[in-house]
Amino acid sequence: MKNVLRSALIGILVIIGNNVFAQETAFGLKAGVNVTSLKLDDPEASYNSRTGYHAGFFLRGRFNKIGIQPEVLLFTQRGEGTFALGKVEESFTYLSIPVIVKFYPIGGLNLQAGPQFGFLLDGERKFESAFGTVKDDIKDHYKESDVSISLGAGYDFGFGLGLDFRYNIGVKDINNETNGDPAKSRIFLVSLGWNFLK
């Protein structure tokens, strides 16, 4: 986890340095909703999406048709799974650092891609079965960090408002349980942002 965090912070510092020479610089806040699911290898298990939220800040440097936008976001992620013995509801809080490259083909319209680094802050599981309901702290059941590829599109309006649609594809198995089935995150999110430098 420390190596991933160090790499992410170094990357952000390099981008901040490059923004000094950017044609256009943006800094602001953003927030939105996200729908989370897990890709499971267990054919007898299903995992249903639940709505969560995210909020944080962003920095963007634009160089003609290319923009680089690192962000720091607090994510709440929720999901519901159905297994052979009962139903499970899980909720997580992540500190996430996306580093997004934006391509602007026309005006403020942009296509987006880049890595997202997530760091697990807490997790809780509620298990319901014929024997009753049990709540459990599951932070130790999942790995401390997650890595995703973020793909999407958006529009940056001239007066400061920004709209983003993204789909994050987890590339790292986040299940930390011994002999547990591999699990990778899938997140669809919609965000609104405001650039204070307009």
DSSP letter string, 58-120: EEEEEETTEEEEEEEEEEEEEEEEEETTEEEEEEEEEEEEEEEEEEEEETTEEEEEEEEEEEE
Residue 137, CA distances (Å) to 49, 98, 140, 143 in order: 20, 26, 8, 14
DSSP class of residue 142 equals B
pLDDT in tens, 62-103: 888 999 999 999 999 887 777 667 777 888 899 999 999 999
Q: pTM score, two decimals?
A: 0.80
Give residue 190's pLDDT. Answer: 97
Q: Tell me how far apart the alpha carbons of residues 113 and 177 are, in angstroms, rounded to a whole number.
A: 31
Looking at the domain that runs over 2-195, which CATH code has it been given?
2.40.160.20
Q: Domain coordinates of the chain in residue numbers?
A: 2-195
pLDDT in tens, 93-151: 999 999 999 999 999 999 999 999 999 999 888 888 777 788 888 888 888 899 999 99
